[in-house]
Amino acid sequence: MIIVTGAAGFIGSCLVSKLNDEGFFDLILVDDFSNEAKNLNFEHKKYTQLVHRNDFLEWMAGKENQIQFVFHIGARTDTAEFNIDILNQLNLDYSKRLWTFCTNNSIPIIYASSAATYGMGEFGFDDNMQDLSLLKPLNPYGQSKLDFDIWALSQEEKPFYWSGFKFFNVYGPNEYHKSRMASVVFHAFNQIKSNNKLKLFRSHNPDYLDGAQQRDFIYVKDVVDVLFFSMINRFESDLYNLGTGKSQTFLDLASAVFEALNIEKNIEFIDTPADIRDKYQYFTEAKMDKLLNKGFIQTFQPIEIGVKDYVINYLEGHKYL
């Protein structure tokens, strides 16, 4: 059996879809399952059992020989969450217990880290960085992810195969439930559909024009392809970036959404809120050499192609992957 934590969520449910497409159906889906809108993400998936996240760590006891692989995607991902106790409980302590279980029982594990660990990018976005303690995440969520990365790397005993993936700006199907934490593509689609206009933050940095702020946007289908590739190939255990390796501007993103909707481009620039202005990132771009050197040769979809697929085949009909 294969375990997927966070299986009702955005990336987790897309991973379940990928596993089904590849012929894997003996899946244990782990989440809290209290959000009915979120549960629609796995409504038509094939799986063996649902296990509540609060029961999961105890549920595994005695099933060590049945578990073939663990994808630990579940986490509290709200970047505006400032309750450190909740983040420590769900993103740090829970992950430590699962990691230890996998270590003790020779179970391979892939877990979700985050590009939020890089903070403002003062030290770049290089997954070969040796001293992770130098990084300064911009919020407690990013710090919780960094804390686990540092802890995992420091352990003398590790699972016989493990990988942590630092997700960059992921967008795509199955994020309807995420509200304000959904991708910019999702919000852009809804704004444009409502009033044929999109609001973007203007630049408060003289080095960037309005709308020229850059992010490494990666389509969720590419993300789950990498996760599946990692499960099958089991290359060197390590931390890996997971972006496209090529940043694109918010104007690129906006243009792609307008084009997919066949609506004339109409953009209004508004001030970045003062309370987040000093922590606003103007550039992110994953250094992808480490992963690509492990044999992943599939081309990542540029935002023009990914957004078109997302808008036309999912958002327009409120469909799920």
Query: Domain residue spans in the chain?
Result: 2-171+218-246+284-301
Specify the DSSP element, H or E, that contains 92.
Answer: none
The angle subtended at Cα 115 by Cα 197 and Cα 237, nearest 5°, is 140
State the catalytic residues: 141, 178
Burial of 310 (0-12, 13-18, 19+ CB in 10 A): buried
Q: How many CA atoms lie within 13 A of 94 on its CB side?
A: 25
Q: DSSP class of residue 34?
A: -
The angle subtended at Cα 240 by Cα 236 and Cα 241, nearest 5°, is 155
pLDDT in tens, 216-237: 999 999 999 999 999 999 999 9
CB atoms within 10 A of CB 114: 25
Question: Domain 2-171+218-246+284-301: which CATH class?
Answer: alpha beta
Closest-CA residue to 165 (of 309, 4, 286, 266): 286
- pLDDT confidence of residue 135: 96
- pLDDT confidence of residue 45: 98
Specify the DSSP element, H or E, that contains 254.
Answer: helix 250-261
Residue type, 38: K
Burial of 32 (0-12, 13-18, 19+ CB in 10 A): middle
Which residues pair with residue 2 across a beta bridge? 27, 69
- pLDDT confidence of residue 106: 96
- pLDDT confidence of residue 275: 83
d(CA 113, CA 163): 10
Helix, strand, coil share of the chain (percent; to 5): 40, 15, 40
Residue type, 280: Y
- pLDDT confidence of residue 184: 97
- pLDDT confidence of residue 123: 94
d(CA 294, CA 17): 24
Specify the DSSP element, H or E, that contains 25.
Answer: none
| Entry pTM | 0.96
Which residues pair with residue 241 across a beta bridge? 166
- pLDDT confidence of residue 277: 87
d(CA 213, CA 69): 39
Q: Which residues of the chain have pLDDT under 70?
A: 80-81
- pLDDT confidence of residue 80: 67
- Buried b / exposed e along 158-194 (16+ C-beta atoms within 10 A): ebebbbbbbbbbbbbbbbbbbeeebbbbbbbbebbee
Q: DSSP class of residue 116?
A: G
CB atoms within 10 A of CB 319: 11
- Parallel/antiparallel/unpaired status of strands 214-215 and 248-249: antiparallel
Residue type, 140: P
C-beta pairs of 57-64 under 8 Å, 24+ apart in sequence: 57/94, 57/97, 57/98, 57/101, 60/101, 63/1, 64/105, 64/107
Q: Contact 172/220 with Cβ under 8 angstroms?
A: yes
User: Six-digit token pair at 24?
Assistant: 């894997």
- pLDDT confidence of residue 218: 98
User: Six-digit token pair at 82?
Assistant: 């400032």
